[in-house]
Every structure is written in structure tokens, then in C-alpha cells.
Amino acid sequence: MKPINDCFLRALKREKTDFTPVWLMRQAGRYLPEYCETRARAGSFMGLAMNPDYATEVTLQPIDRYGLDAAILFSDILTVPDAMGLGLHFVAGEGPVFDHPVQSEEAVAKLYVPESDKELRYVMDAVTSIRKALNNRVPLIGFSGSPFTLACYMIEGRGSRDFRTVKTMMYQRPDLLERVLDVNAKAVATYLNAQIAAGAQAVQIFDTWGGMLADGDFQRFSLRYTRQVLDSLVRENEGEVVPSIVFTKGGGEWLSEIAASGCNAVGLDWTVNMTRARRVVEDKVALQGNMDPLALFGPEETIRAEARKVMDGFGMIGNGGHVFNLGHGINQFTPIENVQILVDEVHEYSRRYH
């Protein structure tokens, strides 16, 4: 069934819309007081993510508060490696940590594709529950980490500044890394297809760390496996196209290659010039992005001006094809009232381009 507000899906398909749709990466998160309240009740991040009622509650919070044009499943990219038995937990002040990082040939050999109706059943239950609660108000985005970005956390065992353990494996034993990536590509495709079957109406692949690879390595260790995922994705569900978005932080150098990967839209980080990006990808894909998340710390007039800069940068040639977003996740300390200013500015100002 079509959502009542289908502007986001139409923009991804590059169809005409009345205004530019907007959602924000990490829109349900710690900058929202109502999120912090639910999270306190849930006790922990995983307690929140693994309980479909809580996950539904926090997914809807930014929709109710701001009138965004898409909801994103509340979960985390690290649920997949957790389901592979790596033992995820969140250490206060430190972020995610795995008990069993993948750092040996034996550990690589033990990796497997988790089953969507077993280990990851709670995610599919959350999708079903969120769709019901949304009642077709706006579309629901499913998501996963890219095979490479997941491998970064699996091998390192935690977040990192330079992912030295991962790169050491890449330079010493590229064959081992490729085995991890191969399992991850199958796991991600299975996971996203299960989310689509459960009701996700679009999907986004987060390649948060692809941009730290050298040219050549990005294509070999990241894009190749993202493409494998895209090749295996179900493209239609219940008679509706299910568009895919690939967001690569630091991927500005490879826009034309990402645009040719088989996705419907490319997510841009804030360093990319929107006008040039549009020229590079031509009419192959829609574009999503890309205001600097920290621009939300400026005064009202600056926020409006920065938002307009992105919309003017995309311009008015052709039909639609722009989804407004930040260039990365919204910062935890963002003043909540500034988000409303941004959403209203996008909805009002963009009408001149449609």
C-alpha cells in the first residue's frame, strides 16, 4: 500500500513531487529528550533495540515531533555481527564492543549468515510493529551496514580512529578479509530482503568507513561487496518499487562508480558539492544529503541559509530526485528546536523547485 505522504519514495524514483522530502540520519537518538526517557525505561541500548514495542516508540518520536517525510527502523548496523555470535555489548562512554572479534583464520571460518526468522527475528518483528503504528503516514526505511563497514567493527572488535587491525589484515591477508566480506554480503542481502518482506519500503546501506580506503581498495574491498548486496535485493514488494540508497561517508571521489552500482540513490556527506555531484551522476540516480550536521549548532538564519545552499545546489533542472538529509548522523548535542527550523525551511523553500 502507498503511504499517504509518498514524497520520499517518489523522490528516490526521481518522480515529480510538490516539495523536497526530508529525513535525518540517526533521527531517533540521544538529542531527543523523549528518546532518552524511553531508553532509560529500556535499561540499555540493546534492551531498546530488541524490544519491538520500544523500538516502535522511538522510531515514531521524531516523526511525531517534526513531521519528517520518512521513518527509519530503530536498530543498529551491529545487530548482524551480534547475530553471528560475536557478542555485542555497549560500554558506557566507549560505544559498542564485541567479546569475540574476528582476528584469526579460525574465527573467519566460523562466520555464518544469520537467519532472519531466528537470531534476527526481533528486527523483523520491529519492522512489522512500526509499519502498523505508522499506519501508512510516511514510508519506513530499513537499513544495514555495508559488508565492509560491518567487517571494520567485527575485526577491530570496537570503533576505532584508524581501524589499524582491519587494515593490517587487508595488507597481510587480503584473502581472509575477502572471506569475511563474502559472508557479510550474503548476510546483509538476506537481512535487507527479510526487512523488505516484513514491510520496509526503502533500504539504505551505510558504508560509514568505506571512505578511509585508498582508491582501488575502496572498489575492491567495499564497493564490490555493496554491489553484490544490491544485485541480490528484492526490487519490488506488494506491487511497489523498493528503492535502495547507498551512503558512503568520504565517498565523494567515487560518486560515478557508486551511482553505477545498481542503487536508486546515492547519499552524500557534507564535504561534497551538490551541484557537481548532480553533474557527475547525471540522471542515473537520485541524491540524498548533505547539510553539515554541525550547521544545526548555528543561529536560525544560518541554519536556513545552509539548508537553502543545499537545495539551490541541487537546483531546478529536471523533475525531482533530491532527498534532503544531513551529511552524516545528527549530533547528540543538537538543540532540538533547530531541527524544526530545518525541517520547516526544507518544506517551505523547496516548493519553488517543484
Q: Which residues are catalytic?
A: 26, 30, 39, 76, 153
Annotated binding-site residue? 112: no
Question: Residue 52 and residue 129: Cα distance in Å, rounded?
Answer: 7
User: Smallest distance from the beta carbon of 354 to ligand 1CP, in angstroms?
Assistant: 26
Is 9 or 28 the residue whose CB approaches ligand 1CP more closely?
A: 28
Question: Residue 350 and residue 354: Cα distance in Å, rounded?
Answer: 7
Annotated binding-site residue? 30: yes
CA 296 vs CA 34, 35, 68, 303, 337: distances in Å:
19, 19, 16, 6, 10
Is 77 or 196 the residue whose CB approaches ligand 1CP more closely?
A: 77
Closest-CB residue for ligand 1CP? 159
Annotated binding-site residue? 27: yes
User: Smallest distance from the beta carbon of 106 to ligand 1CP, in angstroms?
Assistant: 26
What would you report as the CA-atom Rg of the chain, rounded to the nearest whole angstrom?
A: 19
Contact 49, 34 (CB under 8 A): no
Is 148 or 254 the residue whose CB approaches ligand 1CP more closely?
A: 148
Is 28 or 176 the residue whose CB approaches ligand 1CP more closely?
A: 28
Could you tell me how many helices (H) and strands (E) the chain has, helices first? 16, 11
Annotated binding-site residue? 29: yes
Annotated binding-site residue? 208: yes
Q: Which residues bind ligand 1CP (CB under 6 A)?
A: 25-30, 39, 45, 72, 74-78, 95-96, 143, 159, 206, 208, 329
Pairing of strands 88-91, 140-145: unpaired
CA dihedral (255, 256, 260, 261) in degrees, to 10, reads: -30
User: Smallest distance from the beta carbon of 208 to ligand 1CP, in angstroms?
Assistant: 3
Beta bridge partners of 244: 203
Annotated binding site for substrate: 26-30, 76, 153, 208, 328
